């Protein structure tokens, strides 16, 4: 359990919520989301390295592949969804393949197409690590945002909003 001193229960109100500054509400909200994302990524990088022994960017690839019902995605689609150059993604996939976490195979009928998919090893590692990594995200957000702000952020993603209501 986290040290209560490290996670105060009385969070100070976010300065951008009060308004009155030069920025319109939409820009203040966007800046809040960026700052929260940065805070989460900073703590998540270390946790991902410790739990999975992969980089944060490689972790994002694994997460994207884990959400695929049929198991795999074309490399071009992965690059597109993550906003990564294909050359950088190729290196990341090679590292993940070397670690035994993904497989690559040619797409039938397309000599240049390559599909990547998670291995059973990756699925097992993600299953073991997902609860502690989710805790890291929750704690990071709680240090930065209040409960209402966290709920509002989850509400931006329909599937997460639905999951929150059923829990």
pLDDT in tens, the chain (167 residues): 344 444 444 444 454 455 567 888 889 888 878 888 888 899 999 999 999 999 999 999 999 999 887 768 999 999 999 998 988 899 999 999 999 999 998 877 777 788 999 999 999 999 999 999 999 988 888 877 788 888 887 788 767 545 554 55
Phi, psi of 156 (to 5 degrees): -70, -20
Q: Vertex 55, ends 92 and 87: CA angle to 5°?
A: 20
Reduce the DSSP state of residue 70 to 3 states and report it.
coil
The answer to whether 57 and 92 have CB atoms below 8 angstroms apart is: yes
Burial of 65 (0-12, 13-18, 19+ CB in 10 A): buried
């Amino acid at each position: 359990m986290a040290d209560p001193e490290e996670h105060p229960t009385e969070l100070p109100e976010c300065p951008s919520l009060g308004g009155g500054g030069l920025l319109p509400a939409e820009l203040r909200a966007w800046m809040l989301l960026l700052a929260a994302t940065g805070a989460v990524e900073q703590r998540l990088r270390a946790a991902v390295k410790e739990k999975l022994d992969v980089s944060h960017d490689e972790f994002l690839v694994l997460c994207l592949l884990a959400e695929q019902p049929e198991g795999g995605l074309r490399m071009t689609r992965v690059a597109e969804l993550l906003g990564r150059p294909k050359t950088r993604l190729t290196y990341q996939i090679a590292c993940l393949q070397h670690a035994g976490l993904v497989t690559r195979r040619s797409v039938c009928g397309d000599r240049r197409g390559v599909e990547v998919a998670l291995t059973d090893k990756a699925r097992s590692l993600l299953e073991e690590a997902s609860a502690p990594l989710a805790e890291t995200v929750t704690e990071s957000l709680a240090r930065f945002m209040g409960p209402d702000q966290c709920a509002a952020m989850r509400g931006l993603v329909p599937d997460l909003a639905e999951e929150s209501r059923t829990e």
